[in-house]
C-alpha cells in the first residue's frame, strides 16, 4: 500500500485554507480527487471558476505530479482557469491515495458554501427590426380622364373599371420602415447548485410611419373610388362610383386636391421565465425556459383628403375629410423555450427557440370627420350646412366606434447570436431574431368601400341645403374584421455582463 507523503499533506492543508479565505473576486479552488494509477475508472467532480461561470462537471484520469507542478493547469485540464497550487515535495510520483479525503473535503465545503448563492447576468441591445408588410387591399386614390365625363350616368372619371382609371394609392400591401428599438434582459440563479434561475426581459419598437401622397392642380382628374350600395351615384343601381373628384369640369369648375395615406406600426413585449440548466460543462450550455409572455402590437391607418375650388365658378370652395382606422392587439400567454450556448476560443454562440399560446384581445377603433363649404359633385352643400361632418369617406356613422374580441392565439420566436468574450464578465454580440404572431387585426383589412352614400353626413348636409336625396338602401359601410398574422425580423447589437 502506498503511504502518504508528509510534504504533500501540508500542501493540501494550505490549499484548503486558501479556498476558505478566497478574495473578493470569488476565486473558488477546484476540488480534485486523484485516482491511483492502477485504477482505470475516471471519477467526476465539480469546480467553480473564479469568473462566475456555471459549475461544470470534470471527468479525468489519474496522473503523476512532478516536483513544482501545478495542481490546476490548462495543460493538465484543458479549458480550466489558471488557479495554481505548487507541489512542495520533490517527488516525481506523488501517491494519489493520500489525496482524496483532504481534497474532496475542500470541494464539498466549497460546493455547500456556493449553493443557493445568486449569480446575475444582464444584457442590453439596440435593435433594428422590420414588421411584415401591412395589407391594404382597398384602392384609396385613383386617377382618371375627364373626357366624356358624365355623358352617361355610369361614365364616372376615376371609378374602378372605367377606361383610363389607374390606382395611385392602395390596392396592395404596404412595406413598413425598419424600426429602431431596444431589448433588455436580467436574470439570476435562485439555486445555483441545482441550476434553477429566473429571467425577465422586455423589448420595444418605436413607431415607424410610412406615407404616400397624391395631388392635382386641377389639370388632371383624381378620385376616391367607392362602391355605392344605394345606387344614387352609380346610375340608379349599386355599382362603382367616386366620393371625391378633384379636376377640371365644364362650366368653369376646377378643383385642386391633395390626398395622403399614413400607416404606422409599433410593438412592445415583456416576459418572465424560469430557467433550468440541463447541461453546463464550461463550454456548452443547454437551458429550458418556461413562464409568461405579454405582447402588444399596434397599427394605425389615416387617410386625409382635401379639395379646393380654384376655378372662376367655384373659388374658395373647400372640402376636408379624414378617416382613421386603429388596431390594438394584446397577447397574454404561457411560454416554453429552449436555448443553447457554445463557448470556444473566446467566441460565444447562442441559439434560442420560444413558443407561447394564450389569449389575443383584438381591438379596432374607427374615427371619421370633416368639413365642407360646397359639398361634392353628387352632394352639393350651401349656406354653411356642411361646415362640420360627423363622418369621412370610409368611416361613417354606421361603422365609427370601438370594437373588441378575444380569441386563442400563439406566437413563436427564434434567435441566434454571436459574441466575443472581451473579459470573463463582458461579451459584446450581434444577433438575428424573427418573431411570428398569429391572430391579429390589421387596419388595412378594416377599410370597407361598400358605402350607402345617401345615409352619410355629407348627404344629410346636402338635404339641409335644400337638395333632394332619396335616402334608403342597405347599411354601409359595416365593420370589417379579419384575423391575420404578422412577422417581424431584424438584427441587433448588444452587450452581456455577468455579475
Tens of pLDDT, residue by residue over 186-197, are 999 999 888 999
Query: Would the pLDDT of 3 be above 80?
Result: no
What b/e string do you get for 135-151 counting C-beta neighbours within 10 Å, with b at 16 or more? bbebbbbbbbebeebee
Judge whether 23 lies within some domain: yes
- Quote the DSSP letter at residue 162: S
310 plus 334 within the same structural domain: yes
Mean pLDDT estimate for the chain: 81
Cis peptide upstream of residue 233 (ω within 30 degrees of 0) = no
Residues 101 and 124 reside in one and the same domain: no
Same domain, 106 and 124: no
* 460 Cβ contact partners less than 8 Å away, ≥ 6 residues apart: none
For residues 78 and 206, membership in a common domain is answered with: no
Domain shared by 108 and 242, yes or no: no
Residues 38 and 108 in one domain: yes
Q: Is residue 437 part of a domain?
A: yes
Number of domains forming the structure of the chain: 2
pLDDT digits (tens, 9 = 90+) for 228-255: 999 999 989 999 999 998 988 777 788 8
Nearest to 352 by CA among 422, 294, 429: 429
Instruction: Pick the more confident residue, 369 or 247.
Output: 369
C-alpha cell at 363: 381591438
User: For a pLDDT cut of 90, what percent of the chain falls above it?
Assistant: 63
Output the pLDDT for position 125: 97
Q: How far is residue 448 CA from its own chain's centroid? A: 28
Residue 66's CB is within 10 A of a number of other CB atoms, namely: 11
- Classify the C-alpha dihedral 140-145-149-155 as positive or negative: negative
* pTM score of the predicted model: 0.77
In a domain, 124, yes or no: yes
pLDDT score at 248: 84
- Whether residues 322 and 295 fall in one domain: yes
Residues 103 and 166 in one domain: no
Name the percent of the chain lying above pLDDT 70: 76
| Whether residue 137 sits in one domain with residue 31 | no
Question: Residue 271 falls within a domain, yes or no?
Answer: yes
Question: Residue 312: which pLDDT band, with cuts at 50, 70 and 90?
Answer: confident
Q: Check whether residue 43 and residue 91 sit in a common domain.
A: yes
- CB < 8 Å & 24+ apart, contacts of 481-484: 481/362, 481/364, 481/403, 481/405, 481/441, 481/445, 481/446, 482/441, 482/442, 482/445, 482/446, 483/362, 483/407, 483/439, 483/440, 483/441, 484/135, 484/440, 484/441, 484/442, 484/445
In a domain, 1, yes or no: no
- What pLDDT is stored for residue 100 in this prediction? 38
Per-residue model confidence as pLDDT tens digits over 32-75: 333 333 333 333 333 333 333 333 333 333 333 343 444 443 44
Strands of the sheet with 221-223, listed across from one edge: 166-170, 139-144, 221-223
45 and 152 both lie in a single domain: no
**DSSP code of 95?**
-
**86 and 204 share one domain:** no
State the residue range of the domain holding 155.
Answer: 120-498
Judge whether 302 lies within some domain: yes
Mean pLDDT for the stretch of residues 316-330: 95
Amino acid at each position: 500500500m502506498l503511504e502518504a507523503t508528509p510534504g504533500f499533506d501540508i500542501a493540501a492543508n494550505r490549499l484548503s485554507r486558501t479556498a476558505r479565505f478566497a478574495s473578493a473576486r470569488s476565486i473558488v479552488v477546484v476540488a480534485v480527487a486523484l485516482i491511483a494509477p492502477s485504477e482505470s475508472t475516471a471519477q467526476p467532480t465539480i469546480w467553480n471558476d473564479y469568473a462566475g461561470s456555471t459549475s461544470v462537471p470534470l471527468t479525468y484520469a489519474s496522473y503523476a505530479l512532478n516536483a513544482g507542478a501545478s495542481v490546476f493547469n490548462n495543460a493538465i485540464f484543458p479549458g480550466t482557469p489558471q488557479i495554481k497550487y505548487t507541489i512542495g515535495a520533490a517527488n516525481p510520483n506523488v501517491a494519489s491515495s493520500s489525496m482524496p479525503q483532504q481534497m474532496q473535503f475542500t470541494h464539498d465545503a466549497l460546493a455547500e458554501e456556493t449553493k443557493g448563492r445568486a449569480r446575475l447576468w444582464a444584457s442590453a441591445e439596440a435593435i433594428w427590426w422590420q414588421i411584415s408588410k401591412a395589407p391594404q387591399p382597398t384602392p384609396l386614390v385613383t386617377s382618371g380622364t375627364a373626357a366624356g365625363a358624365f355623358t352617361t350616368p355610369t361614365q364616372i372619371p376615376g371609378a374602378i373599371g372605367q377606361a383610363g382609371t389607374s390606382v395611385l394609392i392602395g390596392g396592395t400591401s404596404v412595406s413598413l420602415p425598419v424600426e429602431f428599438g431596444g431589448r433588455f434582459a436580467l436574470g439570476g440563479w435562485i439555486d445555483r447548485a441545482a441550476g434553477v434561475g429566473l429571467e425577465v426581459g422586455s423589448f420595444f419598437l418605436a413607431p415607424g410611419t410610412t406615407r404616400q401622397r397624391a395631388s392635382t392642380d386641377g389639370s388632371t382628374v383624381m378620385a376616391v373610388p367607392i362602391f355605392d350600395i344605394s345606387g344614387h351615384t352609380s346610375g340608379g343601381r349599386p355599382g362603382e362610383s367616386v366620393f371625391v373628384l378633384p379636376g377640371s369640369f365644364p362650366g368653369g369648375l376646377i378643383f385642386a386636391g391633395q390626398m395622403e395615406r399614413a400607416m404606422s406600426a409599433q410593438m412592445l413585449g415583456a416576459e418572465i421565465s424560469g430557467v433550468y440548466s440541463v447541461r453546463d460543462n464550461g463550454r456548452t450550455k443547454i437551458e429550458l425556459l418556461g413562464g409568461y409572455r405579454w405582447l402588444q402590437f399596434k397599427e394605425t391607418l389615416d387617410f386625409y383628403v382635401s379639395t379646393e375650388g380654384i376655378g372662376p365658378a367655384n373659388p374658395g370652395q373647400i372640402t376636408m375629410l379624414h378617416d382613421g382606422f386603429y388596431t390594438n392587439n394584446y397577447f397574454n400567454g404561457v411560454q416554453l423555450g429552449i436555448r443553447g450556448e457554445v463557448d470556444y476560443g473566446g467566441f460565444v454562440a447562442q441559439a434560442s427557440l420560444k413558443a407561447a399560446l394564450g389569449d389575443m384581445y383584438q381591438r379596432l377603433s374607427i374615427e371619421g370627420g370633416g368639413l365642407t363649404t360646397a359639398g361634392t359633385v353628387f352632394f352639393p352643400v350651401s349656406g354653411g350646412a356642411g361646415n362640420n361632418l360627423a363622418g369621412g369617406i370610409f368611416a361613417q356613422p354606421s361603422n365609427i366606434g370601438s370594437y373588441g374580441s378575444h380569441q386563442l392565439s400563439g406566437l413563436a420566436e427564434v434567435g441566434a447570436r454571436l459574441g466575443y468574450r472581451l473579459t470573463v464578465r463582458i461579451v459584446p454580440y450581434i444577433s438575428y431574431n424573427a418573431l411570428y404572431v398569429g391572430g391579429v387585426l390589421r387596419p388595412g383589412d378594416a377599410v370597407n368601400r361598400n358605402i350607402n352614400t345617401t345615409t352619410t353626413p355629407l348627404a344629410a348636409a346636402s338635404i339641409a341645403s335644400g337638395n333632394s336625396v332619396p335616402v334608403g338602401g342597405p347599411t354601409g359601410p359595416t365593420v370589417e374584421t379579419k384575423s391575420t398574422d404578422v412577422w417581424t425580423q431584424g438584427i441587433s447589437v448588444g452587450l452581456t455582463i455577468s455579475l
